[in-house]
Amino acid sequence: YNEYKSYLRMAEVKASNTTIIETGQCLCRAVEFRVEGVQWVNCYCHCRSCSRPIGMSPVHLIMVSPKTSFKITKGQEHVRTVEGQGRMRHQGCKRCGTPLCQWLNSEMETENFVDVYPTTFHLEQGERSCTLPVKYLPTKHVNYENRHYDWNDNLPKFAAFPPNGLVDNQGPNKTHKIYF
pLDDT exceeds 90 at position 67: yes
pLDDT at 127: 58
Gap between the Cα atoms of 60 and 57, Å rounded: 9
Gap between the Cα atoms of 35 and 75, Å rounded: 15
For 114-129, write each residue's pLDDT tens digit: 999 999 998 876 555 6
pTM: 0.83
Q: Mean pLDDT across the stretch 139-161?
A: 92
β-pairing verdict for 166-167 and 157-158: antiparallel
Q: How distant, in Å, are the alpha carbons of 18, 29, 33, 171 from that of 62?
A: 12, 21, 15, 23
* Average confidence score pLDDT of the chain: 85
Gap between the Cα atoms of 12 and 40, Å rounded: 5
pLDDT at 131: 80
Strand segments, DSSP code E, in the chain are 19-25, 32-45, 59-65, 70-74, 79-83, 88-93, 99-104, 114-116, 141-142, 157-158, 166-167
Q: Mean pLDDT across the stretch 7-13?
A: 51
- Distinct helix (H) and strand (E) counts, the chain: 2, 11
Can you tell me whether residue 4 is helix, strand or coil? helix
pLDDT at 179: 44
Between 168 and 95, name the one with better pLDDT: 95
**Percent of the chain with pLDDT strictly greater than 70:** 82
pLDDT exceeds 60 at position 143: yes
**Percent of the chain with pLDDT strictly greater than 90:** 62
pLDDT exceeds 60 at position 41: yes
pLDDT at 125: 61
pLDDT exceeds 90 at position 22: yes
